[in-house]
Structure 1
Amino acid sequence: MNADGASAAEPRPRKRRPRQATAERRAEILRAAANTFGSKGYKNGSLAEVAEQVGITHAGVLHHFGTKEQLLVEVLEFRDTEDVRELEGQHIPGGIDLFHHLVRTARMNVDRPGIVQGYSVLTGESVTENHPARQWVTHRFAVLRGEIADAIDQVAAAEGREVSRATAEQAASAIIGVMDGLQVQWLLDDSVDLAESTRFAIESILQAALSGDRRRPPLG
């Protein structure tokens, strides 16, 4: 009660700012969509199922993302954002740090099978005719190959070695292929040690690339 005898107003709970609430809702929808598309694929996974998981309507999902195709693209981008969330500058590092990051990502993926499943299903589906994720996935692989090849060049330079660009790009393609393939194996059989198998594969490919012409290829 104040000096005039009037009761002091109770402090009101702080409300979330509209932009913060919108961002949180979008993140909820993206996680739900990743779960739906991951378990049923893009074509069979409906927006109604996505909406039901977050307690909104089909129209509510469209309000945030416009179309199902745009939701799909943002699900894929959301996964990449999650991978670098804890990194300085929130972007993939270079040099040897990139390869440590890839192994850490594999270790993180063990605790988020839904995101891994969604990514594996959608990238696999993207090879089909007129799939809405095809352009995004193609571009992502091209960028990632370039980043990994650049990192191999940087590691080679730091060790005073020479690696041709062709070899660096072949190694980059191999690393991406092995990582994605191991994820599929792990999703089907969790006895596969995703993190350690990824580390072994990356170390082996990186070592082969850095050895260049000095290595003795067992396959001739």
Structure 2
Amino acid sequence: MSTRGPRGPYAKSAARRQLILEAALAAYAEAGSRGVSVRDIAERVGLTDAGVLHHFGGREALLTAVLEARDVVAAQKFGEEAALWHAEMLTENAGTPGLVKLFVDLSAAAAEPGHPAHEFFTERYQVLRRRYANAFAAGRPADQPSAAPGAAADPDWAARVLIAATDGLQQQWLLDPSIDMAGDIARLRDVLLEALERSAAAPREQPTG
């Protein structure tokens, strides 16, 4: 069996797709909260809008491929358990609000089974749940410190986490109805309450000097 990559027109097409995706990621990184149009991407690679979409089959498929490329870049840079152990990844995401908005918008649209991103998001959540479950089972890596000293749980933090989990679980449930949303949120609520109780009972550091 040959180990060579694609040749001829196929190789050229794959290379052009990769170039377009790199241009799209760069465009989103530089755009801030401003949206990115197909024309913005096309101008970076010297193509027309139609020329860009030709390589992906449509705008929604192109945007789905952009998110797939973002996941690949993150995995290469931070490792497969990026979001679990590496806060740096989320810090980096905060610097590209355009990509975050694209993710939110596309994940909502992908609830429709016929949407080009439906399969991507369905598989993404399945893979992440399995991957993070394994990471949690293995425990904290030796080179990953726990939360900063004095970073106590507080009601505002607990509220943000509970709202985030509720919204995120609804999205996952649309893609996988076997998820027990109510049961999961009840368990998380109890975990957060326990964290708040432990934080309240912990001795306070006395100021020095």
Normalising by structure 2, we get a TM-score of 0.50
> Which entry has the higher C-alpha Rg, 1 or 2?
1
Higher relative contact order (CA 8 A, sep 6+): 1
Normalising by structure 1, we get a TM-score of 0.48
